[in-house]
Amino acid sequence: MTDTPAELVHYDVSDAVATLTLDSPANRNALSRQLVTELCAHLERAGADDDVRVVLVQSSGKVFCSGADLAEATTEGMEVGARRIVDLQRLVATLDKPVVTKNLGAVRAGGIGIIAAADIAISAEDATFALTEVKLGLAAAIISLTVHHRMTPRAAALTTLGGEVFTGSEAAAYGLVTKAVPAERLDEEAAGVCASLATGAAQGLRESKRILNRDLVARIDALGEEMATTSARLFASDEARQAMTSFLARK
């Protein structure tokens, strides 16, 4: 008899807001098969729930999401995983209800794709972001679908080619997040945004979001398969596999 794996994404509804909490501290909320599957299922559940007007995605600990699960990627490749992350971004962008993200701390690589796909992103000012793929012989391919849609071209070039850490305040200046606030005000700010959104009528929210995200969804549909193929190819390369193995050994 096999044990049922612990739930990695929790679901709660209160005051018309469905809160989805990433809770996989063992791998810093990396986008494992299980976490992505659960997150997609909960997003669809919220989308179908007439009592829900808004979806909030947050994390149980300080780290919001560390990106792709490199342990899975080094052993199983990214052919399926890359497409699943494309699908996740598309689901966030096309859900009939606004999706808000709230991050207190670190967001890396693929996790930035979730934040970029969201309609509104609230970050702590001193949170850290990094598009670290370039350091591992990879490229920010699948998340470029949403990240490069949000960021200014100059900011995208600086962060994608440099791979260096930048702050929540800088992420707001770059267009990646909607607003950066002091950490002690993060919960209050996110709650206020969600409460305001929840006053919208269901049809108004749905149709407004479709208009806002038309270009983003078209970009995902036009380039998603190419970016997933590129990502899988790079993850399978000798250069990237050596870099990821060395990175995992240092952790």
For 8-46, letters b (16+ CB in 10 Å) and e give bbebeeeebbbbbbbbbeebbbbbbebbbebbbebbeeb
Q: Would the pTM count as exceeding 0.85? A: yes
**Structure tokens, 169:** 């305040």
User: What are the extents of the domains in the chain?
Assistant: 9-197
Q: Does domain 9-197 have CATH number 3.40.50.620?
A: no
Rounded-to-integer distance, Cα 35 and Cα 41, Å: 10
Question: Is 164 labeled as catalytic in the residue annotation?
Answer: no
Q: Which is catalytic among the residues 44, 76, 79, 133?
A: 133
Amino acid 3: pLDDT: 66
Residue in the block written with tokens 């996989």: 24
Find out whether 31 and 70 touch, Cβ atoms under 8 Å: no
Q: How far apart are CA 12 and CA 169, in angstroms?
A: 29
Which of 148, 119, 143 is closest to 209 using CA atoms? 119
Show pLDDT as tens, one digit a residue, over the chain (251 residues): 456 789 999 999 999 999 999 999 999 999 999 999 999 999 999 999 999 999 999 999 999 999 988 788 767 767 888 999 999 999 999 999 999 999 999 999 999 999 999 999 999 999 999 999 999 999 999 999 999 999 999 999 999 999 999 999 999 999 999 999 999 999 999 999 999 999 999 999 999 999 999 999 999 999 999 999 999 999 889 998 888 777 777 75
Distance between CA atoms of 108 and 27, rounded to whole angstroms? 12
